[in-house]
């Protein structure tokens, strides 16, 4: 397995740019299955995370209201907080180290895109952040109730606008942004997106934005929003353009 190397800040958080994460995503996908890089296509994210990264997978309801979509477990734990709908109460579950836990709600038929991105996001924590969460510094962060044995990822943490001057970059936010960007880079490798864009005809700006976002969404089996932000990150769309401006 390809193991990326990078510098970290004094707290152990990777110092890494979006462009670096794009390169890492391409190298991981190539090492996982070189033939995938020949043409734009869907990445088998389950096989990538479970077979290639060697992580385990489990499913629980992580809250009563869907606030958490996924979790990465870094150390064996018997105190994973989960919700039991039948009992309408919270309980503790057990999970082994290097387990990705997906919220059970993402197994519904209309949640495939969110499920795929969440798998990529949690797998990306395993790739980038395991040393941080196992470090003495990492054990002090406010992610979990039990030091750093796991990280629970909120639904509203899956998109940060790197271009916004109002974004306050805490270590926690950097970690989530890095997992988001690497998930996008694995599900939609830069070179594959470039190949796909070379095949797209020129159109008016709004029609072009819609058509290329829809095409990326369909080819890589990701949500329209994930496709739109990936195209923004790679410079194919104006960085000031909002998703609702085009798809309202």
Domain endpoint, select from 187, 204, 231: 187
Q: Classify residue 1: in a domain, yes or no.
A: no
Identify whether residues 134 and 202 lie together within a single domain. Answer: no
Identify whether residues 214 and 171 lie together within a single domain. Answer: no
Give me the percent of the chain exceeding a pLDDT of 70. Answer: 88
Identify whether residues 197 and 86 lie together within a single domain. Answer: no
Identify whether residues 123 and 244 lie together within a single domain. Answer: no
Domain endpoint, select from 134, 165, 187: 187
Residue 80's closest CA among 65, 67, 66, 99? 99
- Which region among 148-152, 189-193, 200-204, 216-220 has the lowest average model confidence (pLDDT)? 200-204
Residue range of the domain that includes 206: 190-248
What mean pLDDT is reported for the chain?
89
Residue 170's closest CA among 157, 181, 185? 157
Domain total of the chain = 2
Q: What is the pLDDT of residues 88-131, one digit of tens each?
A: 999 999 999 999 999 999 999 899 999 999 999 999 999 999 98
Identify whether residues 168 and 227 lie together within a single domain. Answer: no
Residue 217's closest CA among 228, 206, 209? 228
Q: Classify residue 2: in a domain, yes or no.
A: no
d(CA 222, CA 219): 8
Identify whether residues 46 and 113 lie together within a single domain. Answer: yes
Residue 122 Cα distances to 40, 117, 173, angstroms: 23, 9, 15
Domain at 99, CATH number: 1.10.10.2910
pLDDT at 243 over 60: yes
Identify whether residues 157 and 209 lie together within a single domain. Answer: no
pTM here? 0.92
Q: Classify residue 60: in a domain, yes or no.
A: yes
Identify whether residues 183 and 194 lie together within a single domain. Answer: no
């Amino acid at each position: 397995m390809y193991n990326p190397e990078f510098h970290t800040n004094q707290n152990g958080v990777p110092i890494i740019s979006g462009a670096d994460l794009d390169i890492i995503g391409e190298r991981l996908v190539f090492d996982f299955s070189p033939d995938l890089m020949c043409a734009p296509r869907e990445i088998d994210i389950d096989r990538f995370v479970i077979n290639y990264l060697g992580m385990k997978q489990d499913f629980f309801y992580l809250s009563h209201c869907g606030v958490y979509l996924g979790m990465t477990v870094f150390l064996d734990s018997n105190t994973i907080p989960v919700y039991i709908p039948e009992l309408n109460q919270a309980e503790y579950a057990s999970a082994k180290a290097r387990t990705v836990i997906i919220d059970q709600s993402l197994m519904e038929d209309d949640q495939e895109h969110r499920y795929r991105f969440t798998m990529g996001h949690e797998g990306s924590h395993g790739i980038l952040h395991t040393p941080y969460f196992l470090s003495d510094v990492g054990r002090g962060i406010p992610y979990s109730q039990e030091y750093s044995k796991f990280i629970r990822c909120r639904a509203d943490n899956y998109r940060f606008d790197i271009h916004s001057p109002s974004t306050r970059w805490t270590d926690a936010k950097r970690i989530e942004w890095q997992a988001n960007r690497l998930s996008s880079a694995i599900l939609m490798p830069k070179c594959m997106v470039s190949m796909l864009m070379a095949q797209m005809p020129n159109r008016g700006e709004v029609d072009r934005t819609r058509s290329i976002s829809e095409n990326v969404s369909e080819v890589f089996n990701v949500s329209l929003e994930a496709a739109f932000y990936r195209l923004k990150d790679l410079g194919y769309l104006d960085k000031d353009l909002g998703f609702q401006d085009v798809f309202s």
